[in-house]
């Protein structure tokens, strides 16, 4: 039976980041990925001159984790093409420019808030009442409760819900403020008024924020996946699912189709439902906590068209009740340079919930139907790509951080076992990378503790 220091299970960005951290520390490790493809939800396709992102299509510029990885591998980030306004919201049958100066989902520019046609005059006045409201007293509350308390129901319906739904998918009403939007939660705590805090934060960022808030790479996000895989080399075993996991005298036995593997520590960088399946035989409490994290199926469809489509900005978010199945659209050819051949347009549609469970053919049909409603006279589609993520996106409900804390306590009963992934403390790519690196550091500390204990004997 082969023996190693650390087994990393899962070849998405959390697992790859964990494996890189282990390599940097000189640890003995192996990364095991069930499929033949690495990258997890990051899926990039290049065909006929089109570059299509199936999963996430951007990272937030001011979060350092992905930028540092890119710099280490010599990848030059590219920003989005300049567009003002950058995005629109479909609300009550009309396309409205998204107000500039947003900090996550809160306006940081009162002039933009006053000018936007998205809100009625009573809605704008209700939002301004935030300037005089006291701080909230709850330990946590839903996104809807929080925004309606501070800014009013109209701001939530017209601005916040479409933005939050575009990030998390599904219904954003029940998302936890502390877990899903910690910056906003802390904003109220520090400044009392949400609008004042957003304005001060915006002024403080100033020139540091520069132009584009988002970045990618000339060859798409999969370029970073390739560089990480190349750096790990033979320490990656593709097509090697972990079928079972069991504790054995202070170590861990992993069962795979290629035989058993014995490891001193394990990093599970796989979706929560899969992690729950591996832990079920020996950690029932952790299994129940993992299964209790709701996930919403997600899917994207990219459509290529000849000629220029009559669209503006980088994309369109869709408010609830507009009669469309897509949560939003990205006009990829207007957002990113070098993604389409000359003379073509490329559109990306986002789906979540029940619609995302449909077949690829049905999803493409749905995307075309929704787009045709927005753009009458739509030309015949040239090429279509559909990507489905049945495991979906985790939804951070009220109490999520308490759940994560209880999960950490449950894992105390399994020394040497660590978790990483988007279901813990952040769904964005930077947070996923941070999660993987944190799990690797804990695994290294466990190895060091074992070495010290062995030496003392």
> Could you tell me the sign of the dihedral formed by the alpha carbons of 334, 337, 341, 347, in that order?
negative
The tokens describing 165, both together, are 């739904």
For 384-418, the DSSP string reads EEEEEEEEEEE--BTTHHHHHHHHHHHHTTSTTEE
Q: Average pLDDT in the 147-163 region?
A: 92
Give the residue-averaged pLDDT of 407-424: 96
Write down the domain spans for the chain: 1-38+221-292+395-453, 98-202, 294-392
Q: Is the peptide bond before 263 cis (omega within 30 degrees of 0)?
A: no
Q: For residue 383, what are its two tokens?
A: 């090429």
Query: What does the alpha-carbon distance between residue 51 and residue 339 come to, in Å, rounded to a whole number?
Result: 5
Instruction: List the single range of 41-45, 192-196, 204-208, 345-349 with lowest mean pLDDT.
Output: 204-208
pLDDT in tens, 324-353: 999 999 999 999 999 999 999 999 999 998
Strands 315-318 vs 417-419: parallel, antiparallel or unpaired: unpaired
pLDDT band per the 50, 70, 90 thresholds, residue 101: low
Mean pLDDT check: name the lowest of 114-118, 277-281, 358-362: 114-118
Out of 1.10.286.10, 3.90.660.20, 3.30.70.20, 1.10.20.10, select the CATH number for domain 294-392: 3.90.660.20
**Can you tell me the distance from the alpha carbon of 236 to that of 29, in angstroms, rounded to the nearest whole number?**
9
Quote the mean pLDDT of the chain: 90
Which of helix, strand or coil describes residue 168?
Answer: helix
Specify the DSSP class assigned to residue 137: -
Question: What tens digit of pLDDT does each residue of 28-78 get?
Answer: 999 999 999 999 999 999 999 999 999 887 655 557 889 899 999 999 999
With contact defined as beta carbons under 8 Å apart, do 38 and 236 qualify? yes
Could you read off the pLDDT of 236-274 as tens digits, one per residue? 999 999 999 999 999 999 999 999 999 999 999 999 999
Kindly list the distances between the CA atom of residue 33 and the CA atoms of 7, 16, 224, 243, 288, in Å, as whole numbers in the listed order: 11, 10, 17, 12, 24
Burial of 178 per CB tally in 10 Å (0-12, 13-18, 19+): buried
- Which residue is it, tokens 């591998």? 73
Instruction: Identify the pLDDT of residue 103.
Output: 41
Average pLDDT over every residue of 131-156: 93
CA terminus-to-terminus distance, the chain: 26
Distance separating alpha carbons of residues 193 and 195, to the nearest angstrom: 6
Please give the structure tokens belonging to residue 395. Answer: 């939804």
User: Is 305:378 a contact under the CB 8 Å cutoff?
Assistant: yes
Quick: pLDDT tens for 215-236: 899 999 999 999 999 999 999 9
Using CA atoms, how far residue 78 sits from 86, 295, 343, 413, in Å, is 16, 31, 22, 45
Residues 6+ apart with CB under 8 A from 416: 250, 251, 252, 263, 264, 265, 266, 443, 446
CATH of domain 98-202: 1.10.3110.10
Q: Which residues, listed in sequence order, are joined to residue 44 by a DSSP beta bridge?
A: 53
CA separation for the pair 290, 275 (Å, rounded):
8
Q: Does 453 have pLDDT greater than 60?
A: no
Rounded to whole angstroms, how far apart are CA atoms 239 and 258? 10
Measured distance CA(442)–CA(265) in Å, rounded: 9
Q: Tell me the sheet residues that pair with 67.
A: none
The β-bridge relationship of strands 29-32 and 236-237 is parallel
Alpha-helix residue ranges (DSSP H) falling in 101-176: 110-115, 121-128, 143-150, 153-155, 161-168
User: 1-38+221-292+395-453 is classed in which CATH architecture?
Assistant: 3-Layer(bba) Sandwich (3.50)
Quote the pLDDT of residue 25. Answer: 96
Q: Quickly tell me which residue has 């952790």 as its tokens.
A: 286
Position 451 scores a pLDDT of 64
């Amino acid at each position: 039976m082969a023996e190693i220091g650390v087994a990393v299970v899962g070849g998405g960005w959390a697992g790859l980041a964990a494996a890189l951290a282990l390599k940097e520390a000189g640890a003995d490790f192996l990364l095991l990925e069930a499929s033949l493809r690495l990258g997890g939800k990051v899926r990039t396709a290049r065909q006929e001159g089109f570059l299509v992102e199936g999963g996430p299509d951007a990272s937030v510029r001011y979060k350092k984790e992905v930028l540092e990885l890119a710099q280490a591998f010599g990848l030059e980030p590219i920003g989005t093409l300049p567009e003002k306004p950058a995005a629109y919201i479909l609300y009550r049958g009309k396309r409205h420019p998204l107000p500039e100066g947003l900090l996550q989902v809160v306006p940081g520019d009162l002039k933009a808030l006053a000018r936007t046609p998205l809100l009625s005059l009573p809605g704008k006045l209700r939002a301004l009442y935030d300037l005089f409201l006291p701080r909230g007293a709850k330990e946590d509350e839903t996104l809807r409760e929080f925004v309606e308390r501070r800014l009013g129901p109209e701001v939530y319906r017209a601005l916040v819900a479409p933005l939050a739904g575009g990030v998390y998918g599904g219904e954003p009403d029940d998302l936890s403020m502390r877990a899903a939007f910690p910056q906003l939660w802390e904003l109220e705590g520090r400044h009392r008024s949400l609008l004042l805090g957003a304005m001060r934060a915006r002024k403080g960022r100033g020139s540091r924020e520069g132009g584009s808030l988002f970045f990618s790479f000339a060859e798409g996000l999969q370029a970073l996946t390739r560089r990480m895989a190349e750096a790990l080399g033979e320490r990656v075993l593709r097509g090697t699912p972990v079928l079972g996991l069991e504790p054995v005298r202070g170590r861990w036995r992993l069962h795979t189709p290629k035989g058993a593997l014995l490891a001193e520590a394990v990093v599970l960088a796989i979706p929560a439902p899969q992690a729950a399946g591996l832990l079920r035989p020996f950690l029932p409490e952790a299994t129940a906590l993992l299964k209790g994290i709701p996930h919403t199926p997600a899917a994207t469809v990219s459509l290529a068209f000849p000629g220029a489509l009559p669209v503006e900005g980088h994309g369109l978010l869709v408010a609830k009740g507009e009669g469309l199945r897509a949560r939003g659209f990205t006009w990829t050819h207007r957002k990113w340079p070098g993604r389409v051949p000359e003379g073509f347009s490329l559109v990306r549609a986002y789906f979540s919930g029940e619609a995302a469970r449909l077949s690829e053919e049905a999803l493409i049909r749905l995307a075309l139907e929704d787009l045709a409603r927005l753009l009458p006279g739509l030309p015949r589609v040239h090429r279509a790509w559909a990507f489905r993520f049945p495991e979906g996106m985790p939804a951070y409900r009220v109490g999520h951080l308490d759940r994560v804390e209880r999960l950490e306590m449950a894992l105390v009963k399994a020394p040497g076992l660590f978790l990483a992934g988007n279901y813990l403390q952040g769904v964005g790519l930077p947070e996923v990378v941070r999660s993987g690196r944190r799990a690797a550091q804990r695994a290294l500390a466990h190895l060091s503790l074992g070495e010290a204990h062995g030496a003392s004997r």
